[in-house]
Amino acid sequence: MDSLKTLIPCLCVVLLVSVFSFSEARDFVVGGKKSSWQVPSSPDQYNKWAEKTRFQIGDSIVLKYDGKTDSVLEVTEENYKSCNKSNPIKLYSDGNTKITLDKSGPFFFISGAEGHCDKGQKVEIKVLSSNHGHSPAPSPADNHHLHHAPAPAPKKSGGSGLKAGFMGGLAAVGFLAFV
């Protein structure tokens, strides 16, 4: 009976650790490539990539580019649509930019190089609110008019956190069973 009194609190701790492993902040390389921030082969390439990814508060995007010839501008939605570089919210030009997504809603980024935005070098990142972190994404037909709609789940997810949490829990239960 004493071992059961010890086992239950330990299982609770293991369960909590497993749950918190799902909320780890992640880094996403924009476009998924090493040299990611450049004129794309198709104008909507970056947005197609972003739509396949579920960004959450605390995640970061990483943009890699030649800082001597290009930059990243965070802009308003209006400036994003018109590729207006004149009044950015933030400007990045280090060539290896990491931007932490610190709130829910849309973020808009365009290239600072002349003519690149017009050729599709821009991306809209939609960050889920904390209460939408694990809800299913609506179909594209449902969200065409919404500005804050969540993106579909990523193909490469944080499943390793699930496996690690589950395996850690199994190891703890196995250890406690022998004690």
Report domain extents, the chain. Answer: 25-156
Which residues are CB-contacts of 79 (< 8 A; sequence separation ≥ 6)?
Answer: 85, 86, 87, 88, 108, 110
In tens, the pLDDT along 96-145 reads: 999 999 999 999 999 999 999 999 999 999 999 876 544 444 444 444 33
Residue 22 has pLDDT above 60, yes or no: no
* Distant-in-sequence, close-in-space partners of 31: CB < 8 Å, separation ≥ 6: 37, 40, 45, 46, 49
Are 93 and 99 in contact by the 8 Å Cβ rule? The answer is no
Is 2.60.40.420 the CATH classification of the domain at 25-156? yes
CA distance 51 to 61: 14
pTM over 0.85: no
Residue 166 makes CB contacts below 8 A (sequence gap 6+) with 18
pLDDT in tens, 64-103: 999 999 999 999 999 999 999 999 999 999 999 999 999 9
